[in-house]
Amino acid sequence: MPELPEVETIVRQLAPDIGNKRIKTIELLDPRFEDLETSAIDGARIVAVERLGKQIVISFARDSAILGAIAIHLRMSGRLIWIPEQKTKATSAPEFLRAASLKQEHCRARLQLEGGSLCFFDTRRFGTIKISDTRETFLPRGLDPFAKEFTAERFGELLSNSQQAVKVWLLRQDKLVGIGNIYACEILYAARVNPFLSVAKLSPKQIGLVHASTLSILNAAIENCGTTFSDFQDSHGELGSYQEFLKVYNRENEDCVGGCGEITRVSQQGRSTYYCSTCQK
């Protein structure tokens, strides 16, 4: 499932591609979406493309009056692909889809814009589309790691009153939004903190290290356009490259880059935790 860096990658690419474009129409091709209220969308203009938690939120307006927002959650296999008009002409559209391993029948929704179309492909159909008259509907409960409020001090406050293992805590979307299994493992390795340590036992120094590692790991992943597991693609149909930089995730029995031993995989509350038992004592 895409985590924060993958969704941020898509949003940063889409913003210049579709920002300020007029929406000709929205086509909902999956019966799951047939109850969505779309009447305000046709003819409106896209005024913002942003990431709210792990959702891609597209706000639309008419004559500078905000009419609403569309929120897309990719879940397991959703992809949001911008297909500029020159690529949709008869010869090149199938080629483009084939090159990106996409099938037309997996297109579940389409925003027809001036200059091209934004297609939501989803093979497994867990992805969601929601429409509301205000973007505030889609604000996540948890704090965003890239919000300026996310300081080491605030992080310490969020951690208080919990006895959970730090790895399990990092996955809690009601506390900190956007971190999934891959980056939780990588953040704790970078901070040299044991994933099974209770957050109540984290020292102030460790809290500072986990905070700093959260930002550095997520930033590095965004710079490399996310991680390609379960076939993540960005909005141009390209694969991410951060998996080449992973230090522990999916590296069971491989050597720790610190040269101290092998990476261990342990099931922790039903999810695989990867760590180095030497570096992360």
Active site residues: 2-3, 54, 271
23 scored as a contact of Zn ion (CB under 5 A): no
Cβ neighbours around 255 below 10 Å, total: 12
Q: Is 217 in the site for Zn ion (CB under 5 A)?
A: no
Q: Which of 10, 18, 113, 279 binds Zn ion (CB under 5 A)?
A: 279
CB nearer to Zn ion: give 43 or 258: 258
43 near Zn ion (CB under 5 A): no
In this complex, which beta carbon is closest to Zn ion, that of residue 3 or of residue 186?
186
Give the shortest CB-275-to-Zn ion separation in angstroms.
9
CA separation for the pair 69, 47 (Å, rounded) = 10
C-alpha to C-alpha distance for 80 and 12, rounded to whole angstroms: 12
Assess 278 for contact with Zn ion (CB under 5 A): yes
Q: Closer to Zn ion at the Cβ: 14 or 248?
A: 248
Helix crossing, 204-223 with 152-159: angle to 10°?
110
Q: Which stretch binds Zn ion (CB under 5 A): 59-67, 175-183, 184-192, 251-259?
A: 251-259
What x-and-dash track marks residues 256-275 binding Zn ion by CB under 5 A? x-x-x---------------
Min dist. Cβ of residue 201 to Zn ion (A): 21
276 binds Zn ion (CB under 5 A): yes
For Zn ion, the closer of residues 185 and 279 by Cβ is: 279
Nearest distance, CB of residue 279 and Zn ion, angstroms? 3
Contact set with Zn ion (CB under 5 A): 256, 258, 260, 276, 278-279
